[in-house]
Amino acid sequence: MQPTHIFTNGCSFLTQRPKEGVMTHVGMELAKQMELQEARHLGAGGRGNKRLSVTTKVWCQKNPALVKKCFFVIGITSGLRIDYPRSDNHKKHKFPEFNTAWNSYKPHENIRTEEFFKHYVVENALCLDQMAHYESLEATLNLQNFFKVQKYPYVMYKTLPDPQLQARRQLTHKDIRRLESLIDKDRYFNYGTSHLEYTENNQQHCAPGDHHPSPEGHRDWATQLKEFIDANDLRTI
C-alpha cells in the first residue's frame, strides 16, 4: 500500500526557526513534494538519538491505524548527546502524548561539569569519539530493524556530523566498522555526510553565525531526498 502520510523525527535540523524567518523544514518540504499529509512531526532541538528512537517507536505503538499509512523520515543526529528521562517528569520537556519527559546532556559542550571529565574521561578513559559513533550506529540499526520487522517504509539521513570521528576515520575501531557494515545503506541517503555539511558547503545558513538551514537549505535537501526515494523505490517496503 502506498503511504498517504509522513512522519518525521530528528533534531533542530528538522524544525522551523521562526526568529530567523525559517517557517519550513525538510519534513514539510518533502511532504509537499511527495504529496503526503503530515501524520506527526517530533523533531525538536537538542535531542539525541536514543530519544529519537524511543519516541518514534512509542508513537507507532500508540497509533496503530495511522502508522500503516505512514512514510517515515528520520534525521540521525550527533552521537555526542546523552538522552535521559527526567525524574520530575517536567511538562516543558515532553510532547503531550508521551508519559516520559527527556533531557539531553552534551558532555563535549558542558565543560563546566569538571567532575564528569575527571571521573569518566581522565580516570576511566572514556573515549567520547567512539561513544558518539556507537550511539549513532546503535540508534540507526535499532530503528532500521524496527522498521523492517514492522514493514514500515522509511528513509534515513544524518543531520549532524560527528567531526572528531570523521577527522580520524582512518583510526576508527574495527568493531565500529563492523557495525557500519550492518547498516542498510539502500535506505540511508548520502551516507557518510550530513545535512549540516551540505548547508555549509552551499552557504545555505539561516542567519550569520547560525548553521541551521535556510528555507532553500531545507527545500534543496528535501528535493534530493525525494530523488533518492523515487530512484530506489522506497515508498513501500
List of domains in the chain:
5-231 (3.40.50)
118 pLDDT above the threshold of 70: no
Q: Across the chain, what does the average pLDDT equal?
A: 84
CA 73 to chain CA centroid, Å, is: 9
210 pLDDT above the threshold of 50: yes
Report field, pTM of the whole predicted structure over 0.95: no
Q: Which candidate, 51, 73, 54, places its Cα nearest to that of 62?
A: 54
Is residue 114 helix, strand or coil?
helix
- Give the cell for residue 182: 550492518
Asked if residues 32 and 225 have their Cβ atoms less than 8 Å apart, the reply is no
Phi, psi of 72 (to 5 degrees): -105, 135
Asked if residues 153 and 229 have their Cβ atoms less than 8 Å apart, the reply is no
pLDDT in tens, 11-39: 999 999 999 999 999 999 999 999 999 99
